Structure 1
Amino acid sequence: MMQDLFTEAREDLDDGAVLMRGFAVDAAAALLSDIAQVSALAPFRHLVTPGGFRMSVAMTNCGDFGWVSDRRGYRYDPIDPESGHPWPPMPVSFIDLAGRAAHAAGYAGFHADVCLINCYLPGTRLTLHQDRDEGDFTQPIVSISLGLPAAFLWGGKARTDKTRRYALHHGDVVVWGGLSRLNFHGIAPLKDGNHPIVGARRFNLTFRRAR
């Protein structure tokens, strides 16, 4: 029955890209607890772009690698530059849900080695970009939304392509790969609100295969 609900709530965004409504709802409590544990070891921070701009979204990582940005560029690093230690290990709840979501979207055998955790406050956004720092573009991206709703911007292969907006709610999961793996995407400025569990925040878990 649950699989039928997920099938009915499935929205195909493009060839290889799918939005699954509510897929992570049942796991949300465990995910939020593990986010707190990860961020206690590797606190959220505002990265700086190679051009010197401070990102409005606070970020941290867990897994074998972490995605980092500074004046030297964008890259994956096994060491947290703030602590000098490896990133926290990826929690079991993360590994399980990322694998199940990828499989449900048609990408069997996905094993993420990094999870980028973004924390959005009202007014913060993520500009259109491609996820292209990974070593293997045959592996999909799995993105999980928790907390306040957000407007997901889904574009094409070029930054100037027309974008579509999809409302993402607590527990929604987007997976993209294949022909859509390098599509531009982003998050519009987060609106004010108060989620009954998460408060005035939105967390996004993005699972990737860096190596």
Structure 2
Amino acid sequence: MASPDPAGIVLVPGLLHLPGYLDAAAQARLAAELATALRAAPPYTPRMPRTDQPFSVRMSNCGPLGWVSDRAGYRYQARHPVTDTPWPDIPPTARAAWDALSGYGAPPEACLVNLYEADARMGLHQDRDEDALDAPVLSLSLGATALFRYGGLRRSDPTRSVRLRAGDALVIGGPARLIHHGIDRLVPEAPDLLQGTAPGPVPDFLMPGERCNLTLRRVTRPPDA
């Protein structure tokens, strides 16, 4: 189950860290749901716009819309760019976390799945390809610990970092919705150094030392907005 206390830690206004939000059983349940989804939408390696350079992470999506990147640019689309099949449904455990934490009156439309090998990272960026910028972004972590870096609205703003461990949730919304953020690296940790809820078993689709991150977003503005 999820933590009964969603108060969390306010890193900056609008950026809420909830260590151990998913306990070991909830992590295992989410991992099983996600394994089924990844069989329907196999992970692939996206490429950067213009340069066509490959990302260091593999990606997939769940939900009505999926975020993709290739030489043509960043965008959301309803079908897998390799298999041309619709994305599978968002895992119920992830959807429940959105309902509990987002405070938004409409469901998520996209659940981006990032798979990090031990040396993968994600440079500083903004999540700004959505029309519904009044909706927060919700991040859920499985597997290895990552060093998450966050800054301000300008890329040149000072940055700080926090460790995201298995089961952690992160809400990026309000005045923090467009802050620059990224993943510096994965961090090996001994079990006795882990804080918060104990991590669940390593998901079947990850090797030890790898990480999975789910990012839930609302893409379009609800009709009554």
| TM-score, with structure 1 as normaliser | 0.90
Write the distance in 1 (CA, Å) between the matches of 2:36 and 2:164: 25
Name the one with the larger helix percent: 1
Q: In structure 1, which of residues 10, 13, 16 is the aligned counterpart of residue 14 of structure 2?
A: 16
How many percent identity over aligned positions? 38
Cross-structure match for 1:34: 33
User: 1:89 & 1:21 partners in 2: Cα distance?
Assistant: 26
Distance 2:104 2:124 in 1: 28
State the shift of 1:177 in Å: 0.8
Pairwise CA distance, 1:3: 3.4
Matched, 1:164 2:160: yes
Matching of residues 71-110 of structure 1 within 5 Å: 71-102=71-102, 107-110=103-106
- Deviations along 1:11-57, one digit per CA (max 9) or x if unpaired, are 11111111011112242111100111111111111100102110001
Distance 1:191 1:16 in 2: 25
| TM alignment of 1:30-179, pairs within 5 A | 30-50=29-49, 51-102=51-102, 107-179=103-175
Tell me the SS of whatever aligns to 1:3: coil
Give the structure 1 partner of residue 217 of structure 2.
208
Unaligned runs of 5+ in 1: none
Map Cα deviations across residues 118-174 of structure 1 (whole Å, 9 max, x no partner): 111111000000000011100000001111111000110011111101011111111
- Structure 1 pair 196/24, CA: closer, same or farther in 2 (3 Å)? closer
Whether the 8 Å contact between 2:147 and 2:187 is mirrored in structure 1 is no
Structure 1 stretches (4+) deviating beyond 4 angstroms? 192-196
Q: Secondary structure at the match of 2:95?
A: helix
Moved more, 128-137 or 108-117: 108-117
Cα distance in 1, alignment partners of residues 72 and 90 from structure 2: 26
What SS does the corresponding residue of 1:69 show, helix, strand or coil?
Answer: strand
Seen in structure 2, the aligned counterparts of structure 1 residues 163 and 87 have a Cα distance that, compared at 3 Å, is: same
SS at match of 2:28: helix
**Given residue 47 of structure 1, which amino acid in structure 2 is its aligned partner?**
P
- Cα deviation digits, residues 68-114 of structure 1 (max 9, x gap): 00010000001111111111122222211222122xxxx24351111
Task: Name the CA distance, whole Å, in 2 between partners of 1:135 and 1:182.
Answer: 12
> If the length of structure 2 is used for normalisation, what is the TM-score?
0.85
Aligned residue type for 1:57: V
| CA RMSD, 1 decimal | 1.7
2:77 maps to a residue whose letter is D
Q: Distance in 2 between matches of 1:169 and 1:38?
A: 22
**Partner letter of residue 109 of structure 1?**
G
Task: Provide closer, same or farther for how the CA distance between residues 110 and 19 of structure 1 changes in structure 2, counting only shifts above 3 A.
Answer: farther
In the alignment, residue 79 of structure 2 is paired with which amino acid?
Answer: I
Equivalent-residue separation in structure 2 for 1:91 and 1:22 (angstroms): 19
> Which letter does structure 2 place at the counterpart of 1:124?
A
**Partner-residue secondary structure (3-state), 2:154:** coil
In the alignment, is the contact (CA less than 8 A) between 2:166 and 2:200 conserved in 1? no
User: Does 2:183 correspond to 1:187?
Assistant: yes
